């Protein structure tokens, strides 16, 4: 599958992970829209929230958000999930944006 986030998860680009657990990785967005801009990405390929049918995974992803912000010392932040081209989704592998500080979005 030609998916940039699957390749990142696979280690193809030696991307540094802010955090990794059994079901997700967290890494810095390449084009940050805030002082801190992280992406929480499930290890399993799911194209978007529309294709997600696993509520347990969704809960685990949100708990991963909490773990990542705690690790970064943040307690005020915005989470965003873009779903579909018209809403601005560019990478069709589900991800949760975490934005903090001078958010330009």
Phi, psi of 2 (to 5 degrees): -90, 75
Residue 12 CB partners (closer than 8 Å, separation 6+): none
Q: Which does 45 bind (CB under 5 to 8 A by kind): Zn ion, ligand 5GP, none?
A: Zn ion
Is 3 near Zn ion (CB under 5 A)? yes
Is 77 near ligand 5GP (CB under 6 A)? no
Q: How far is the CB of 2 from Zn ion (least distance, A)?
A: 9
Tokens of 40: 């929480």
Is 27 near Zn ion (CB under 5 A)? no
Q: Which of 20, 88, 101, 102 binds ligand 5GP (CB under 6 A)?
A: 88
Residue 23 CB partners (closer than 8 Å, separation 6+): 42, 43, 44, 57, 60, 61, 64
CA 86 to CA 59: how far, in whole Å? 26
Active site residue 95: yes
Which residues are designated catalytic? Answer: 95
Residues that bind ligand 5GP (CB under 6 A): 4, 27-31, 39, 82, 88-91
């Amino acid at each position: 599958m030609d998916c940039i986030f699957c390749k990142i998860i696979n280690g193809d680009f030696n991307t540094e992970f802010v955090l990794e657990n059994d079901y997700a990785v967290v890494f810095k967005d390449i084009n940050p829209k805030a002082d801190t801009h992280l992406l929480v990405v499930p290890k399993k390929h799911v194209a978007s929230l529309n294709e997600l049918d696993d509520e347990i995974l969704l809960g685990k992803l949100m708990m991963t958000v909490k773990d990542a912000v705690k690790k970064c010392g943040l307690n005020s932040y915005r989470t965003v999930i873009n779903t579909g081209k018209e809403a601005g989704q560019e990478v069709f592998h589900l991800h949760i944006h975490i934005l903090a500080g001078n958010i330009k979005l």
